[in-house]
Structure 1
């Protein structure tokens, strides 16, 4: 074992730690507070940008490009998470966390001063590279500090961060978008990040035994290149070029070839960026697939619920934000309760109960009409949030519980990688569905509207904003229903993904057995 953490008041996480207590007045309280602040850095950004997307599109243009604001962020986050997990096990948690916070704040500044959609997309990529460290290392620290029994309560604390961000994020996003500027949704990260870094610097200490290690640059490059091409093909296929075009086929073929090469490289790498043994055990494979589904569902809802509420129902950004907040309010409430449940009936069964809520909530969302009331939107989102809380927390704790400290960073990083990858792929797939629907509606308008429609969804801001940008009533009504069709198709896809999540959970064994060294 290359590192020995000293952040824990009692040398190792075990029964001895339970005597120090779990609350903020315990020996570990300041460290827990610092972890929550760090988690809040990413949580606030995840919720605050969703309601500002329509305002950003109105200002910078490029409606069909807006999924890239999520995809590029999640893609860079996903491909860097395994690297951070590996470094956390060899260099220690603290330096990796500091690097991630610094890069995230740099990306936030660049996002705030962006003058075009391409520039904003690049800045979001930088943000994502930083976020790739913050969330998984925070979760790894929790795994170091607390036993499985204690994590039941601590997961509730961490989930409360998302709940607070769920209320503050959409509200701030709506207020900034309507009364100040959407750029402040990025600048607000700066004071939060500064406080998080300051608390960690003062309160979190660890002793690290340095050793030489080999970075798997080839694996990282192949993984990044392969996933980037696949995401590019999904996002631009059917929009910038046809699905069956030579360009599309080449992009998917090269992307697939790079990913196949990545698997062969990882099998021979001395220190693989994503060790393949994490997919060989049912509990790890099932937990990672479930995390992938959680990521896809989360990005689908946070990307398209506000767009549906504003563009179809005609609400303000602030009201759309509160509708979305119901999702991440239900999440921490259920996550807090999940600890008590999985200690009684096990990780998998708890997650399966959550999947019932997820599927049910997704069905409710798919039944929303072009005239549904906003409370109905919020209620459906709340049901999904409850299901997420009962699914995400147990699967993460299950994955962490089967390995020791020296591999906890890797398995936690892989689980976070799966969630980020699910979000990136989800944003691409859902974006492709929405763009294809809109393209079809714009290409074949009613005869009475021929010649009165904007050239495309990209050349008009009429698709965002409740007043349809002041268009004549007939055109505005058609655009509103076109946007409803696009979001409705995305919501139907969410139901399919939710059902697939049940299958992922069934891969997990009912009991989590410790992973022996000779298994990996």
Structure 2
């Protein structure tokens, strides 16, 4: 009982950290117009977002590898400290140029926290409790997404925008204190100092550069379509990726070990995460636009379908966490993909047949439920397929896949809306987008059907 209490204390610290990180991501979107009006330099508006996204994505592989070598609690502490320093610098920013640099610092901290948090949970809890812990982690993230804009808007309007950045600092400090004083044993013996010299830094740089160019290509695509710049960035990303593959093959300690990537459940988990990223971020981006068009309204109407979606995400995550150790992975994966894909198909049917609009609320909830229930179904199979020494690396790989899915999916889906609107009504274009997402959901169903094994109870960890 005492041991379980120690784990619960450490999990609480991880959840505080997840809340701080997630709230900050949504706060910025809420307060940035106010920040720009005071600091000027509106041409840097997009870099406040994209700079953070790039740094939090491209740093994942290197820091995940280092955490696997030197300890998860150590790197959680490092990541949270860097994140809090970045938050403080954001609030102190005298110009938008300074704010962009501070967001880069925040992004580095977030790049450490993501995979290390998942790795901590995986080594902290045995299989029969791990799904519930991961569900709590994901549920905190989604509820924080809801709370962030509300709390950030209130704090910014009442005390000024710098305090919207400062408000996550107490949560981060609580996380640090809880992690620091928790006595739950999670880390192995650290690697010898010489292993630090053997890390594939060049491979990490190549992979990070490839991801950065890929994300930037789709950012340009969203603004200007298939322009020369879009193609150049995609070509550069592909060349760096090919170089990275050759680098990994010849390096004795690769950042993303090829032997891990070849494992069946790891491959399936990464493809599942990629498609889930497209569906989740795509639904979050498209549903507010669809609601505003449906009700001929503005921002007040745009949240009508988003709220049931987010509620469904949270319920789905909690449900799947309870069920993951009772049923085979593929059964839960099939169920989640079918619910999400079927609900997306019915959204198209509503548009093309003129069914009552209130059905949208139900299917928005079911889309969220289906997507949310998928999270543990691809994370746990990948984690259980590798040793404890690779937990952060696996968590980082899956987070990378999900980020890339979101980065590419949103501009692709919005471009479909713009293209199809030229030869049809605005509502028809949303019907086409939902059909595209339905096809991706069916693809995910066939991928999920290939998972091997189930989460069987193991001996409890000490």
Q: Answer yes or no: same fold by TM over 0.5.
A: yes
Matched with 2:310 is: 328
Decide which moves more: 160-169 or 410-419. Answer: 160-169
5+ residue gaps, structure 2, are 457-462
For 1:203 and 1:187, how far apart are their aligned partners in 2? 25
CA shift, 1:393, in A, is: 1.0
- 1:230 is the counterpart of 2:178: no
Question: Contact 2:268–2:451 (CA<8 Å) still a contact in 1?
Answer: yes
Question: Contact 1:79–1:224 (CA<8 Å) still a contact in 2?
Answer: yes
Higher helix share: 2
Q: Which of 380, 387, 398 pairs up with 2:381?
A: 398
For 2:436 and 2:74, how far apart are their aligned partners in 1? 40
CA shift, 1:129, in A, is: 2.3
CA shift, 1:266, in A, is: 0.8
**1:207–1:411 distance in 2 versus 1, CA, 3 Å:** closer
For 2:290 and 2:346, how far apart are their aligned partners in 1? 14
CA shift, 1:306, in A, is: 4.0
Query: How many residues were matched structurally?
Result: 449
Residue-by-residue CA offset, 1:302-336 (whole Å, 9 max, x unaligned):
33444555687466757755753433332232223
Alignment of 1:32-431 (within 5 A): 32-49=11-28, 71-109=50-88, 111-112=90-91, 123-173=102-152, 175=154, 185-203=164-182, 206=187, 208-211=189-192, 212-213=194-195, 214-237=198-221, 239-240=223-224, 243=226, 245=228, 247-309=229-291, 313=295, 320=302, 323-366=305-348, 378-430=361-413
Matched with 1:14 is: none
For 2:435 and 2:83, how far apart are their aligned partners in 1? 33
**1:115–1:508 distance in 2 versus 1, CA, 3 Å:** farther
Partner SS for 2:226: coil
What's the RMSD between the two structures over aligned residues?
Answer: 4.1
Residue-by-residue CA offset, 1:443-492 (whole Å, 9 max, x unaligned):
x9xxxxxxxxxxxxxxxxxxxxxxxxxxxxxxxxxxxx87x788776555
Question: Contact 1:283–1:399 (CA<8 Å) still a contact in 2?
Answer: yes
Question: Contact 1:78–1:420 (CA<8 Å) still a contact in 2?
Answer: yes
For 1:217 and 1:271, how far apart are their aligned partners in 2? 10
Question: Contact 1:91–1:210 (CA<8 Å) still a contact in 2?
Answer: yes
TM-score w.r.t. length of structure 1: 0.73
**1:127–1:426 distance in 2 versus 1, CA, 3 Å:** farther
For 2:101 and 2:448, how far apart are their aligned partners in 1? 35
Question: Contact 1:76–1:125 (CA<8 Å) still a contact in 2?
Answer: yes
Q: Which of 449, 452, 457 pairs up with 1:506?
A: 449
